[in-house]
Amino acid sequence: MPPTDELSPQERAAPRRALDRAVVVEEAIAMIDAEGLEALTMRSLGARLGVEAMALYRHVNGREDLLEAIVDSLVDSIAVDPGDLFEPADGWQAFLQWMAHSVRSLAVAHPAVFPLVATRHPAAPWLRPPLRSLRVVEGFLDGLTRRGFTDGQAVEAYRVFTSFLLGHLLLEVATLGATTSPVEEPLDEGGAAVRPPGEEVSVEDFPTILRTAPLLSEDHTVEEFERSLEALLDRLDLVLSQ
Amino acid sequence: MPPTDELSPQERAAPRRALDRAVVVEEAIAMIDAEGLEALTMRSLGARLGVEAMALYRHVNGREDLLEAIVDSLVDSIAVDPGDLFEPADGWQAFLQWMAHSVRSLAVAHPAVFPLVATRHPAAPWLRPPLRSLRVVEGFLDGLTRRGFTDGQAVEAYRVFTSFLLGHLLLEVATLGATTSPVEEPLDEGGAAVRPPGEEVSVEDFPTILRTAPLLSEDHTVEEFERSLEALLDRLDLVLSQ
DNA sequence: CCCCAATGTTTACGACGTAAACATCGGACC
DNA sequence: GGTCCGATGTTTACGTCGTAAACATTGGGG
């Protein structure tokens, strides 16, 4: 091979990568992870990539399209059963466990982006977050029907499964954001519409909360996820066997 | 009584109500219901109230505070067991059913606001959306402990209950938004980064989706909610009895 | 060699949230 | 009854946002 293949001058010194759609999206995700959703701005993302804001418009059709692409990118990283990893004989329970943990690891890896995945309107009304891509839904339904579910059962499982994932993971990333977030706000401030100190509400007025406070502040997100997943599988098992 | 008590001139002719925090918040909710979250602007809300944007700042500490107040207002409308409506003897199942439907009616009444309730960071990390007010949590925990739950069981029930409500209701309002929303976007547009027509992805490439499409597009949100709620109660029952 | 398509920049505009100074006005108090 | 004041709404202004449009640059193919 010819030696002309060496690094070109700007490849050596350039602190900025060549821009394309994938790079823009990837860097946007990294930025949200690092500084939060509200910090993602066309201008700031451009700056992060060493480029003016308008340069991004060559690769992305505006901010909305960028957010859409971010969501798509994350959802496409969900590992649906590869087919050769699990034999159908492994059972649908293992299959669903695998999928659940795949989605959960996505959420935990990008807690600040997950609310976007959860709340943006999907392309079709029957595409339910967080399993909101055709590829993933196809994999889900196919995986179940190949393991003995009827079409109706698979679709019903899709519905309860998405509800389960959405509820648990949204709450999990919320607590994650709370413990990691920049700083705890003082929650009070001299201002216009603040309550007069006489009628301030406080935890003191709620005896049951006060009593259970130590329990409430324990973090059980992980076990909770596992046990609720188990419960869901049990429930599906019951529905299947009748 | 003296006749000076009659309507003052501006009360007769004024199309705008007297402003205060409650009115501002109430009108903001109405506006979101009518035109969506992104249509809520300080300027537009002011216009709707017949007032300049800056007038709102007398009653609300900026946009963030307004959104917070909207969420608080909705959450405070959740009817927790009034205590005289249910006797403890009615059982915790009826109590939880009551609460679940109370929260659900809130979500259905304000589908465009509910995502706000679901995703905004609560005041404390253990305050889980959508049951994110001290009053509601106190009512929840007290209601259960007065019906035989231990503190630990009540707190665990709080966790699974919030996950359940969040997942189901967020998905329900999403479909509601999809069927009600202004207009279905064309989803494609001549533009920069559109796929070349050769490698367009389409539902046609996903046989299982294609086959189950009629099932997928059926709307079962109501029965799904009821049946999942039943399943959750059964599960709690099991945990209780052991 | 020249030209053009792709890529990034400059400039500009309107909408947004909000700080600050100003205007208005109805009741409390002497 | 006049005078002041606090509450409420308005005006003006600034910085930031998303983005349209025109322009500059540049590297590879005829």
Chain B residue with Cα closest to A57: B192
User: What would the 3-class secondary structure string for chain B be?
Assistant: CCHHHCCCHHHHHCCCCCCCHHHHHHHHHHHHHHHCHHHCCHHHHHHHCCCCHHHHHHCCCCHHHHHHHHHHHHHHCCCCCCCCCCCHHHHHHHHHHHHHHHHHHHHHHCCCCHHHHHHCCCCCCCCCCCCCCHHHHHHHHHHHHCCCCCHHHHHHHHHHHHHHHHHHHHHHHHHHHHHHCCCCCCCCCCCCCCCCHHHCCCHHHCHHHHHHHHHHCCCCHHHHHHHHHHHHHHHHHHHHCC
The share of chain A scoring above pLDDT 90, in percent, equals 71
Cβ atoms A211, B139 nearer than 8 A: no
Mutation target vs A (from B132, B158, B202, B209; most A CBs, 10 A cutoff) = B209
Q: Are B92 and B241 in contact (CB under 8 A)?
A: no
- What is the largest distance, in Å, between two alpha-carbon atoms of chain B? 83
**pLDDT tier at A13, thresholds 50, 70, 90:** very low
- Cα angle A235, A237, A242 (rounded to 5 degrees) comes to 105
Contact (CB<8Å) A179/B125: yes
Query: Roughly what angle, to the nearest 10 degrees, separates helices B207-216 and A134-145?
Result: 90
CB contact under 8 A, A224 and B163: yes
The predicted pLDDT at position B106 comes to: 97
DSSP-derived secondary structure for A159-209: HHHHHHHHHHHHHHHHHHHHHHSS----S--S-SSPPPGGG---GGG-HHH
Domains of chain B with CATH codes: 15-74 (1.10.10.60), 79-180+215-240 (1.10.357.10)
Residue B209 forms contact with A (CB below 8 Å): yes
A21 interface with B at CB cutoff 8 Å: yes
- Alpha-carbon distance of B228 to B96, in angstroms, equals 13
Q: Does pLDDT of B215 surpass 90?
A: yes
Q: What is the pLDDT of residue A205?
A: 87
Taking the C-alpha atoms of residue A118 and residue B115, their distance in angstroms, rounded to an integer, is: 9
Taking the C1' atom of every nucleotide in all shown strands and the CA of A57, the nearest one is: D19
Of A129, A174, A209, which has the smallest distance from its Cβ to B138's Cβ?
A209
Amino acid sitting at position B45: L
Q: What is the pLDDT of residue B80?
A: 84
When pLDDT is averaged across residues A146-158 and rounded to a whole number, the result is 95
pLDDT of B4 reads 37
Q: Looking at the complex, does the CB of residue B159 fall below 8 Å from at least one CB of chain A?
A: yes
CB-based contact A236:A160 (threshold 8 Å): yes
**Is the pLDDT assigned to residue B83 strictly greater than 70?**
no
The 10s digit of each residue's pLDDT in B84-120 is 666 766 789 999 999 999 999 999 999 999 999 999 9
Choose between A229 and B188: higher pLDDT: A229
Q: Which of B56, B103, B138 to mutate to test the interface with A (most CBs of A within 10 A)?
A: B138
Size of interface A-B (CB pairs under 8 A): 173
A190 touching B (Cβ < 8 Å):
no
Nearest nt to the CA of A58 via C1' is C7
More confident residue, B193 or B45: B45
More confident: B12 or A97: A97
The number of residues making up chain A comes to: 242
Would an 8 Å CB–CB cutoff place A106 in contact with chain B? no
Q: How far is A8 from chain B (nearest CA, A)?
A: 27
Instruction: Give CA A142 to chain center in angstroms.
Output: 23
C-alpha separations of A11 from A6, A15, A22, A111, B4 in Å: 10, 8, 19, 33, 84
CB-closest option in B21, B166, B178 to A121 = B178
**How far, in Å, is the CA of B61 from the C1' of nucleotide D1?**
39
* A12 pLDDT more than 50: no
The residue type found at A121 is H
pLDDT in tens, A186-203: 444 434 444 444 456 778
Q: Which strand C nucleotides have any atom less than 7 A from protein CB atoms? A: 7-11, 15-21
Q: Is A36 on the interface with B (CB under 8 A)?
A: no
Nearest 10 degrees: CA dihedral of A154, A159, A161, A162? 130
What are the φ and ψ backbone dihedral angles of A110, each rounded to 5 degrees? -135, 65
Asked if residues A240 and A149 have their Cβ atoms less than 8 Å apart, the reply is yes
Q: What is the pLDDT of residue A200?
A: 62
